[in-house]
Structure 1
Amino acid sequence: MVAAFLGLQLIRVLGRRAEHDEQPRLEPKGDVTPKIQVPDLADRGANGAVPRVMVPGITPAIERALKEVAMADKRFDISAFVEGAKGAYRMVLEAFWSGDRETLAKLCDPAVMETFEAAIAAREKSGERLENRLVRITDATIAAAVVDAGMARIAVRFVADIAAVTRNAAGEVIAGSLTDAIEARDQWTFARAANAAGPDWLLDETDEA
């Protein structure tokens, strides 16, 4: 039996890695639609110095890490990143729910994509179909950031309202309701090579917040 709210529950753990897993390839894929747009910082000084990153509600440690990201990645802009992350959150959820593998492959690191693929295949084999809907994203907060070996990784904590329905092969509702939204709390990590020519970030890891 597939657990109630299969799509909603799976999405909270997809991409979680065991401690012994290899570090996945994080470089952005070429020739794909940009996922998270990060334009140049408009207020850099004449000498190219990176300004202090000021983001309400984050700790000094995270603020220092974001400053390191901005120093390593000349395209990075925190406001544009957060807005892009929210857009990616919606796109990935909707692609997973509908079984859109092509879109997921453009948005996700290969290790995360492999887990999405397995979940979609299991759903298709059972004949079940998701009719989930992202009602609203109520919060998106930077939870962590790091630059390591030339890779920038930023974790975003999302709080969202999701209406979830699962139908069986006969089209009967076996779980959920489109009239009653459920609050979802997820933490997703996005990554890109800091010196990459393009602005693309890939979904590198997902977890329950």
Structure 2
Amino acid sequence: MAEGSNWVEIVLLAMLAAFIGLRLVSVLGKRTGHEPVPTDSFRPGSPELVAAPRSRAENSPRAEWKLPDGTDPALKPALAALMDVDPAFEPTRFITGAKAAYRMILEAFWSSNSGAMEGLVSEEVQENFAQAIEAREGARLQNRIISIDAATITAAELIGQMAEVTVRFVSRIAAPGDDTPAETADIWTFSRHITSPDPAWLLIATDAEA
């Protein structure tokens, strides 16, 4: 009898295990190997994890375009390469935005408001401007941009997934007490991650032409 009782217990346990297994499958579902990877809603996505955009050759053909005034024709292949990987990039439109950024950044610097540069410059450049403002003890400068006479692309390259474009600005700036505005030439480099949904370019380096 004891042996028969053991067999009955084994059969009952097997039936119970099968029932529990069926319930788990109905509640949790089966894994097929194609489930989406769980995401952490509190962790922003990393640019390195964003798929690179398809090249222009895989999308629609590039529209006709021309070099901005004053641009060295030798730069056309480099600019075309940027347009291939970043369909939002267009040299003439870029120059228009760069001139606006140039004006806003300088005016923020002169008014000792480095916070107004946020979203226009990299953290390193913003810190450099903030240090220069601190060195003059926060004094505001009464400089004014009279005109931006030229904004010319002098270099363009793709470094990994970072696009970099350098612009030479020639402007006339008036300072208090000066009868004639001074002509200045600045070399600024802008950068953008080509996979980022944010179309903004950040100023990453500045230099004054001797």
Q: TM-score, normalised by structure 2?
A: 0.67
Indicate which of 101, 111, 116 corresponds to 1:103: 116
Task: State the match for 2:98 in structure 1.
Answer: 85
Task: State the match for 2:195 in structure 1.
Answer: 195
Larger Rg: 2
| Alpha-carbon contact 2:155-2:167 (below 8 Å) kept | yes
Higher helix share goes to which structure? 2
Task: State the match for 1:208 in structure 2.
Answer: 208
Q: Structure 1 207/191 Cα, relative in aligned 2: closer, same or farther at 3 Å?
A: same
Counterpart amino acid of 1:49?
P
Task: State the match for 1:94 in structure 2.
Answer: 107
| Alpha-carbon contact 2:57-2:84 (below 8 Å) kept | no
| Alpha-carbon contact 1:154-1:189 (below 8 Å) kept | yes
Q: Which runs of 4+ in 1 moved over 4 A?
A: 44-47
Q: TM-score, normalised by structure 1?
A: 0.68
Task: State the match for 1:4 in structure 2.
Answer: none
Q: CA deviation at 1:49?
A: 2.6
| Alpha-carbon contact 1:72-1:195 (below 8 Å) kept | no
| Alpha-carbon contact 1:52-1:67 (below 8 Å) kept | no
Task: Give 1:48-87 correspondences, 5 Å limit.
Answer: 48-51=60-63, 53-55=65-67, 56-87=69-100
Counterpart amino acid of 1:94?
E
| Higher RCO (CA < 8 A, seq sep 6+) | 1
Counterpart amino acid of 1:186?
D
Q: Structure 1 65/46 Cα, relative in aligned 2: closer, same or farther at 3 Å?
A: closer
Indicate the SS of the match to 2:165.
strand
Task: Give 1:150-189 correspondences, 5 Å limit.
Answer: 150-165=161-176, 176-177=177-178, 179-189=179-189
Task: State the match for 1:124 in structure 2.
Answer: 137
Indicate which of 138, 159, 177 corresponds to 2:149: 138
Indicate the SS of the match to 1:154.
strand
Query: Using the alignment, how far apart are the partners of 1:120 and 1:114 within structure 2?
Result: 10
Query: Using the alignment, how far apart are the partners of 1:54 and 1:85 within structure 2?
Result: 17
Q: Structure 1 148/46 Cα, relative in aligned 2: closer, same or farther at 3 Å?
A: closer
**TM-align CA RMSD:** 2.2
Indicate the SS of the match to 1:180.
coil
- Mark the runs of 5 or more structure 1 residues left unpaired by the alignment: 1-26, 28-43, 166-175
Q: Structure 1 147/45 Cα, relative in aligned 2: closer, same or farther at 3 Å?
A: closer
Query: Using the alignment, how far apart are the partners of 2:143 and 2:72 within structure 1?
Result: 34
Q: Structure 1 49/112 Cα, relative in aligned 2: closer, same or farther at 3 Å?
A: same
Q: CA deviation at 1:180?
A: 1.9
- Mark the runs of 5 or more structure 2 residues left unpaired by the alignment: 1-46, 48-55
